[in-house]
Structure 1
Amino acid sequence: MNDPIALLLLGIGVVLISILWLRLHAFLALALAALVVGFLTPKESLLHHWQVEKPATPEDAAKLADQTVGKRVAEGFGRTCAKVGIIIAMAAIIGTCLLESGAADRIVRSALALCGEKRAPYALSSSSFILGIPVFFDTVFYLMIPLAKALASQTGRNYLLYVLAIIAGGSMTHSLVPPTPGPLLVAGELGVDIGQMIIGGLTVGIFGMIGGFIYAHWANNRWPMEVRCGDDMTSEDLKALADRSDDELPNIYLSLAPILLPVILIAGHSIMKQMIGSEPTADQKEWLSLTSVLGDKNLALTLGAGMALWLLSKSGLKKGKELTVAVRKSLGSAGSIILITGMGGAFGGILQQTGIGSTVSAWIEESGMGLTGLLLVAFFVTVVIRIAQGSATVAMITSVGIVGGMIEPNGGYWIGYVALAIGCGAKPFPWMNDSGFWVVGRLAGFTEGETLKTFSCIISLLGVVGILVTLLLANLWPNFIF
């Protein structure tokens, strides 16, 4: 089969049928799609990929093109896991420790105390925005929805505003800011510096959160709701949560440390490189050497995980056995994510070998849309995959395999914009095939119709605002701050 578009559609079709009809795990669906597309990719396409798109010597290109499909899939899987495996595992440990030590609760309560009751929605948004960096969105929502219910019970109003404020903050960082698996893999596959991706993701994410917050206020005024108990707790549980003593929680500085330490180390190295420039002095070289070690993404997340484990040990879990249980719980959830992410990277690599990148980039060049066209293609490809199969992470993983081959290495723009466009495209339009749709609906006590007009709409708006901001930044500052 010589048509890259046909191979692309076939691969996406295999993923969708496997997940939606056969009910296979995402790892198996991606593996099956990679094998099918890889088997049908002609040798001519493989030679073109290794000679033109990924330049190699004629001898090396011939050897690479002769590899079996199994070896090509396995190498793509291993390459992706090498990029993201340690980071995802350490981020999972940080997330679990924040939850079980009470640090996450402390962050939210401190924000609420700082903002006051009138500004409680801002506190909820900012807290979920911060927690969404190392913690998956579903987990952030599990953590914060009881606090929103307790607040609404005390004030007697603004329940929907509180719920949507949580969604507006936590959802943006989930798709834009590493070390969450989606943006982490996209940045790695496109060769975007992780520190730069964090800065860019936070920048676009803040604007998206503001847009979502405006919608949250409008929706709260249009559809006022009383507190719903949902599936997670009874009214007695709400009272117990509201009465929980602050003395049981760690202080705010220690609570923030496991999140801020890796972010500062990774972003700090990127900022240092930018400030020093291409001709550093001897002293500056020493500083760069130090920040390159501490700012390594694997080491930075490991230090953050160590800080989180220490915090957990000081919160009452004194026995090593209990700490081991917490780590085992973290790695159990991380293992599945690593497998899905790794196989997604393998599938993306197989798609690139079909020549799809060259085909679409030629179309963009002929249309004269340039960088704007590339970003819009990245956005809408991700949107289509997201709507079709439900998972934002799978949509990003699949999309980067399609879009990655379209990028010119020296195109005169920051490649991170493409990563941000993919992240924004993973937002619209969550519906019944998205696990987050059911998590939010059941825990918030919404009907399916209410979930569609609140959760689905605000998530879609976040993506639209995000891509508009990304397009604006890309046209005003093609190289961003880098």
Structure 2
Amino acid sequence: MGATVDWLRTTTPGLLVLCGLAIAVLLFAIIKVKLEPFIALLLTGLALALAAGLPVSKIVGTAIKAGDSILETGFGGILGHIAVIIGLGTVLGAILERSGGADVLTGKLLNLFGEKGAPVAMGLLGLIFGIPVFFDIGIFVLAPLIYVAAKRGGRSLVLYAMPMLAGLSMTHAFLPPHPGPVALGGLLGVSLGWLILMGFVCGIPGFIAAGIVWGSYIGKRIHVEVPDEFLVRKDEETEPAPDEGERVSDGSGGVATKTVTATPPSVGLIGAIIAIPLVLILGATFGTQLLDKNSQLLQVLTFFGTPAVALLIAVLIAFYVLGVRRGSTVQELSELTAESLRPVGMLLLVVGAGAFFGKVISATGIGTALADTMSAAGLPVIVLAYIISCGLRIAQGSATVAIVTTGGIVAPLVIDHGYSQMSIALIAMAIAAGSIILSHVNDGGFWIIAKFFNMTVKQTLQTWTVLETVLSVVSFAVAAILFAIVS
């Protein structure tokens, strides 16, 4: 027994077996036992640390001091990096949603592209509105607009829904301030500016292939009608009784009230608010590359391009131009902020627990063992990252869990190995691409899409599941080719 334990703790094959067993237990707890991912990640991480023989003082600290423990540094390190960004990003999305920005963008895009180009317009709507808004919230907000466009066009709901879903999925997986990319920035030590750049470079080709090409192809072959009750609900939401306010999606499938304003915000204003944090962050990234490190301009760009500061500026501007200037009180904006932040708590706990699990893997030496095995097999790190992320996504369904777990496993292979920021960002894109592949019945998003777009399970597999796979494969292919060129 002692020899077996020593083999597991000290040899490369043994450490790899431990890692495999830990991931298997994690997936069993999430999939079969239906344990909350936060609890499952925490339990599995603690069990792996004990099984690998790490000292208790290193795992949880002591009764007097625990600040240097793996438990606290694993959670605290990543949450310190992402909590403010995700919180501000969520608030920004909420004020854009509540202001009617989605309706404005939809009308502008439909007028620009015309009836025949409506599916492309829906794709761009998902792409633009998906930057500040979480995936499921984006579906809740945009679905009624898709119903109207499909009814007016007299064609399948699938033809209009797939491009929009591709846009939402691409931004959710590849672009900050969404949780996965932000978490990867902290786990892999890469700036959000590089993640934004590579997210667009890798994600846009995938969006075109999955949303526009595949969406147009399958939308002409699977016909799904828009149920009358879907349109009735839309009418109810957009035509409120006098003095009762407008009923809108509250992000949970229900409705909430908002103050009716005389004129909707302009599309230029909505686009500018969405662009503000992206431009500021990219300004700091390019400034770091082009300016002297002691330059005063670089200091200014770095301060305003810090993701938390950039998002805070965008939120304050949105509060004023979309809130106060349009009749909302500070109290109403505070209530909106509190309402939008309620779902964020569990998300942050899952990301923190995933980072702790990755920290345990690093501390046990499994990462080094994995690196040695990978080198012996000649497998590039970007391919390994994609394969691990794909496996976790297919097995347990959550893209966020797949990203943070893979990021923790791959981090030891990336950090301190001399990769450039661009190369690390491309590895992050490979992880993001793997996290969305083959969405099926264990993915909550699968059932949301089936419900909101009136599809059977078979139709959802034929449309949405294939779309996610095309988006994943094409985006990874772009990342892998670029990685081979620059590394």
TM-score past 0.5 threshold: yes
Name stretches of at least 5 consecutive residues in structure 2 with no aligned partner: 1-7, 241-259
Is this contact kept in 1: 2:90–2:341, CA < 8 A?
yes
Q: In the aligned structure 1, how far is the partner of 2:60 from the partner of 2:94? A: 44
Measure the CA separation in 1 of the matches of 2:234 and 2:332.
Answer: 27
Shift of 1:435: 0.7
Counterpart of 1:217 in structure 2: which amino acid? S
Letter in 1 for 2:224: M
Distance 1:266 1:148 in 2: 32
SS at match of 1:234: helix
> What's 2:467 paired with?
458
Aligned residue in 1 for 2:151:
153
Question: Percent same amino acid at aligned positions?
Answer: 30
Cα deviation digits, residues 179-205 of structure 1 (max 9, x gap): 100111012110111111111101111
1:49 aligns to what?
none
For residue 20 of structure 1, the aligned residue among 31, 34, 46 is 31
Cα–Cα, structure 1 residues 439 and 66, in superposed 2: closer, same or farther, change >3 Å? closer
Give the drift of 1:222: 2.1
1:235 is matched with 231
Match of 2:277 among 255, 262, 272: 262
1:428 equivalent to 2:437? Answer yes
CA distance in 1, matches of 2:146, 2:261: 17
Q: What are the residue-to-residue correspondences of 1:27-426 with 2, within 5 Å? A: 27-43=38-54, 67=61, 71-212=69-210, 213-228=212-227, 234-239=230-235, 248-276=263-291, 279=292, 285-314=295-324, 318-369=328-379, 373-407=380-414, 409-413=416-420, 414-426=423-435
Distance 1:325 1:477 in 2: 48
> Match of 1:222, SS?
coil
Question: CA 1:300–1:252 in structure 2 vs 1: closer, same or farther (change >3 Å)?
Answer: same
- Which residue in 2 is equivalent to 1:57? none
Equivalents in 2 of 1:20, 1:312: separation in Å? Answer: 42
Give the secondary-structure state (helix, strand or coil) at the position aligned to 2:224.
Answer: coil
Amino acid at match of 1:357: G
Change (3 A) 1:127 1:80: same
Q: Deviations over 1:59-111 (max 9, x none)?
A: xxx98589469832122101111010100110110111111111232223222
Number of residue pairs matched?
Answer: 450
Question: 1:7-48 deviations in whole A, cap 9, x for unaligned?
Answer: 2223223322322233222211111111111222224xx8xx
Is the contact between residue 257 and residue 307 of structure 1 (CA under 8 Å) also seen in structure 2?
Answer: no
* 1:52 corresponds to: none
8 Å CA contact 1:14–1:32 kept in 2: the answer is: no
> Structure 1, residues 353-403: CA drift from partner, whole Å, max 9, x if none?
12222122112222234xxx2111101101111111110011101111111
Question: Do the aligned residues in 2 keep the contact of 1:99 with 1:105 (CA within 8 Å)?
Answer: no
Which blocks of at least 5 consecutive residues in structure 1 are unaligned?
Answer: 47-61
Secondary structure, aligned partner of 1:415: helix
Amino acid at match of 1:335: G
In 2: Cα distance, 1:235 partner to 1:65 partner: 55
Shift of 1:145: 1.5
Q: What amino acid is the match of 1:399?
A: T
The answer on whether the counterparts of 1:195 and 1:269 sit within 8 Å (CA) in structure 2 is yes
Which residue identity does 2:233 align to in structure 1? Answer: D
Distance 1:408 1:363 in 2: 17
